[in-house]
C-alpha cells in the first residue's frame, strides 16, 4: 500500500518558505552571537539577539504558529521540521515548550480571568511560564505517583484557596527572567489531611511567597540559560481558589490533553535537527581526507550516509503519519501513532547525531553537535520515557489482534 500525504495548504506553503529563509538567514547565523551574549548575562536577562529575532519573526507573520486554527496538525508538523533546525527558532516564534502547551491549556480550560491575566501575556510574548509536574521523590513516569505536592484547602481573610506544599524538578522555564507563573500538578488534601483521588492543576504566580528556586539543573553539563530547568520548592504558598485550572480533580485529564500534542511537536522538531546534523556529516565527509582519500570514498562513511538517510526519512514519515492521524482521529485515536513516533524518532535521530559526531572526531564532542546530542537524548525521557510508550503500543496492538481474531 502506498501512503499518500496531502500537500501543504496554501497558507502553510507560504509560511514554510518564510520559515526556511528565517532559519537559514537569521536564526542559525545568530546562534554564536546568542551564546556569546548569554555567557555574560546567564539567567539574569534575555540576550538582545533573541529580542531582535522575535521582532523579525513577528514582522514576517511567524508568531504563535501553533495557535493558528487554519493549520492542520500535518501542516504544523511540516513547519516544525523547519523550526527544529535551530533552537532559537522556537523561542523566536513563540512555539517553545512549556509555553506553547501552557497556552493551549489556558485556552481550553482557563477561566476568562485566567486568560486575561496569563494567556494574553504568553501570546504576545511579554511573559513566560513554567510547567511543574515531575517530582524528585518518585518515578513520575507513572502519573499516579505524582502527589508529593499537595493543595490543602484553606481560607485567608474570608477568601477560599489552597496552601501549596511540595517540591518539583525539571521545571523548564522556571528560571527565565520573564517567567510570571507556573502551572503545578498535585493532589488535593482534605481537612483530615488525607489525599483525595485524582490530580488537580493550579496556577502559582512566580512571586508567590514561599516559592523558591532550589537549584539550576543541567543537561549533560549545559544549563540552557536563560531559559533553564529548575528544582522548585513550594512551602505554604497560598493561592486563591480561582487559580484552580479546569476544576478540582481534572489535572490528569488536562495533562493528557496537553502532553499528547506536545510529544509529537518534539518529534517534529527533532526531524529538523536531524536534518541539520545529517547535512553537517555529509559536508565533513566531503572536506576531510583520511588514509589517502576523501572520507566520502570510504565504505564506512558511505554506510553512515545511506543509513542516516533511511533513519531521517523514516523518522519524518512516522511523525507525519502521527500528525495526520491526529487530524483524522483526534489525539486519543492517534495514541498508538504518537507513541510509535515518540519511541522511534529520538532513537533514529540520535543515530544520525552519533554518526555525525564520529565523523567530526574531536570537533564533534565539544561543539554544537554535542549540545544537540544531549538535548535529543533527553527526549527519550521527556513527556513519558520510552518504556511507557512501548507499553502503550504493545497493549493496544495486542488488544487489536484479539479483536481481529475473536479473542475478546
The total number of structural domains that make up the chain? 3
Kindly state whether residues 387 and 256 are assigned to the same domain.
yes
Same domain, residue pair 77 and 168: no
Within this chain, do residues 146 and 240 fall inside the same structural domain, yes or no? yes
Distance between CA 16 and CA 19 in Å, rounded? 5
Give the model's pLDDT for residue 132: 95
Neighbouring-strand partners of residue 201 = 185, 245
Whether residues 146 and 241 share a domain: the answer is yes
Which whole-number Å values give the CA distances from 263 to 120, 159, 191, 222, 238, in the listed order? 24, 38, 37, 22, 32
Whether omega for the bond prior to residue 98 falls within 30 degrees of 0, making it cis, is yes
Please give the distance of CA 26 from its chain centroid, rounded to a whole number: 22
Rounded to the nearest 10 degrees, the angle between the axes of helix 73-83 and helix 299-333 is 140
Q: Are residues 256 and 346 in the same domain?
A: yes
Check whether residue 178 and residue 308 sit in a common domain: no
The residues, ordered by sequence, that sit 6+ positions from 360 with a Cβ below 8 Å of its Cβ are: 280, 281, 284, 367, 369
Pairing of strands 128-132, 150-156: unpaired
Q: Where are the beta strands (DSSP E) in 273-349?
A: 289-290, 293-294
- Give a yes or no: residue 5 inside a domain: no
Strands 128-132 and 179-189: parallel
Q: Is the predicted pLDDT of residue 263 greater than 90, yes or no?
A: no
What mean pLDDT, rounded, does the chain reach? 93
Grid coordinates representing 77 are 508538523
258 pLDDT above the threshold of 80: no
Q: CATH number, domain at 288? A: 1.20.140.10
List C-alpha distances in Å: 55 to 21, 40, 48, 246, 334.
15, 22, 11, 33, 36
More confident position, 202 or 384 = 202
Statement to judge: residues 284 and 368 lie in one domain: yes
Question: Would you state the pLDDT for residue 233?
Answer: 98
Q: What is the pLDDT of residues 42-72, one digit of tens each?
A: 999 999 999 999 999 999 999 999 999 999 9
pLDDT at 1: 35
* Mean pLDDT (whole number) for 250-265: 82
User: Given pLDDT bands bounded at 50, 70 and 90, which one contains residue 3?
Assistant: low
Per the domain annotation, does 209 fall within a domain?
yes
pLDDT at 207 over 80: yes
**320: closest CA among 277, 254, 379, 265?**
265
CA angle 120, 268, 86 (to 5 degrees): 75
Same domain, 318 and 199: no
pLDDT at 365 over 90: yes
Closest CA to 290 of 275, 276, 300: 300
Question: What is the rounded average pLDDT of the residues 194-218?
Answer: 94
pLDDT score of 152 more than 60: yes
Q: What is the pLDDT of residues 287-332, one digit of tens each?
A: 999 999 999 999 999 999 999 999 999 999 999 999 999 999 998 8
Residue range 331-353: average pLDDT? 95
132 & 199 share domain: yes
Q: Is residue 3 part of a domain?
A: no
- H-type helices in 163-298, by residue range? 251-287
Q: Are residues 186 and 240 located together in one domain of the fold?
A: yes
Last residue of a domain, one of 204, 228, 248: 248
- What is the pLDDT at residue 143? 77
Which pLDDT score is estimated for 290?
94
Question: Does the pLDDT of residue 6 top 80, yes or no?
Answer: no
At residue 314, the pLDDT reads: 96
Residue 104 in any domain: the answer is: no
Are both 240 and 336 inside the same structural domain?
Answer: no
Element (H, E) at 82: helix 73-83
Q: Which domain holds residue 230?
A: 128-248
pLDDT for residue 261 is more than 80:
no
The C-alpha cell at 322 is 502521527
Residue 238 shares a structural domain with residue 271: no
Q: What is the pLDDT of residue 144?
A: 80
Residues 94-150 have pLDDT tens digits of: 999 999 999 999 999 999 999 999 999 999 999 999 999 999 998 888 878 888 999
CATH number for 64: 1.10.540.10
Say what the pLDDT of residue 255 is: 86
Q: Which three cell numbers stand for residue 347?
A: 532513537
Residue 154 located in a structural domain: yes
2 pLDDT exceeds 50?
no
pLDDT of residue 4: 61
More confident residue, 260 or 317: 317
Using the Cα atoms of residue 93, residue 98, residue 101 and residue 104 in order, give the sign of their dihedral.
Answer: negative
Indicate whether 367 belongs to any domain.
Answer: yes
Amino acid at each position: 500500500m502506498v501512503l499518500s500525504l496531502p500537500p501543504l495548504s496554501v497558507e502553510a506553503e507560504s509560511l514554510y518558505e518564510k520559515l526556511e529563509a528565517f532559519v537559514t538567514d537569521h536564526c542559525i547565523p545568530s546562534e554564536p552571537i546568542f551564546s556569546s551574549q548569554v555567557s555574560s548575562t546567564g539567567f539574569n536577562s534575555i540576550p538582545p539577539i533573541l529580542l531582535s529575532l522575535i521582532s523579525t519573526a513577528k514582522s514576517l507573520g511567524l508568531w504563535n504558529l501553533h495557535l493558528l486554527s487554519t493549520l492542520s496538525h500535518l501542516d504544523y508538523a511540516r513547519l516544525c521540521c523547519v523550526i527544529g533546525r535551530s533552537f532559537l527558532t522556537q523561542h523566536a516564534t513563540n512555539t517553545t515548550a512549556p509555553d506553547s502547551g501552557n497556552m493551549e491549556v489556558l485556552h481550553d480550560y482557563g477561566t476568562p480571568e485566567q486568560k486575561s491575566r496569563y494567556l494574553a501575556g504568553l501570546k504576545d510574548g511579554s511573559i513566560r511560564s513554567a510547567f511543574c509536574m515531575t517530582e524528585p521523590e518518585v518515578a513520575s513516569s507513572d502519573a499516579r505517583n505524582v502527589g508529593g505536592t499537595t493543595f490543602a484547602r484553606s481560607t485567608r481573610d474570608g477568601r477560599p484557596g489552597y496552601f501549596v506544599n511540595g517540591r518539583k524538578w525539571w521545571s523548564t522555564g522556571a528560571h527565565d527572567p520573564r517567567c510570571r507563573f507556573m502551572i503545578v500538578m498535585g493532589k488535593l488534601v482534605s481537612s483530615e489531611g488525607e489525599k483525595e483521588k485524582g490530580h488537580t492543576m493550579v496556577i502559582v504566580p512566580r512571586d508567590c511567597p514561599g516559592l523558591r528556586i532550589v537549584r539550576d539543573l543541567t543537561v549533560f553539563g549545559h544549563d540552557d540559560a536563560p531559559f533553564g530547568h529548575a528544582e522548585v520548592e513550594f512551602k505554604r504558598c497560598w493561592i486563591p481558589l480561582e487559580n484552580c485550572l479546569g476544576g478540582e480533580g481534572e489535572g490528569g485529564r488536562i495533562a493528557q490533553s496537553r502532553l499528547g500534542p506536545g510529544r509529537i511537536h518534539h518529534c517534529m522538531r527533532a526531524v529538523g535537527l536531524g536534518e541539520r546534523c545529517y547535512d553537517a556529516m555529509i559536508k565533513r565527509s566531503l572536506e576531510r581526507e583520511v588514509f589517502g582519500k576523501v572520507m566520502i570514498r570510504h565504505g564506512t562513511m558511505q554506510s553512515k550516509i545511506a543509513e542516516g538517510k533511511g533513519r531521517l526519512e523514516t523518522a519524518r514519515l512516522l511523525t507525519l503519519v502521527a500528525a495526520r492521524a491526529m487530524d483524522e482521529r483526534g489525539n486519543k485515536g492517534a495514541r498508538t501513532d504518537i507513541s510509535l513516533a515518540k519511541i522511534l524518532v529520538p532513537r533514529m535521530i540520535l543515530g544520525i547525531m552519533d554518526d555525525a559526531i564520529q565523523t567530526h572526531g574531536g570537533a564533534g564532542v565539544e561543539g554544537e553537535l554535542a549540545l544537540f546530542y544531549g538535548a535529543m537524548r533527553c527526549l527519550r525521557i521527556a513527556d513519558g520515557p520510552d518504556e511507557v510508550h512501548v507499553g502503550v503500543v504493545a497493549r493496544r496492538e495486542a488488544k487489536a489482534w484479539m479483536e481481529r481474531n475473536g479473542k475478546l
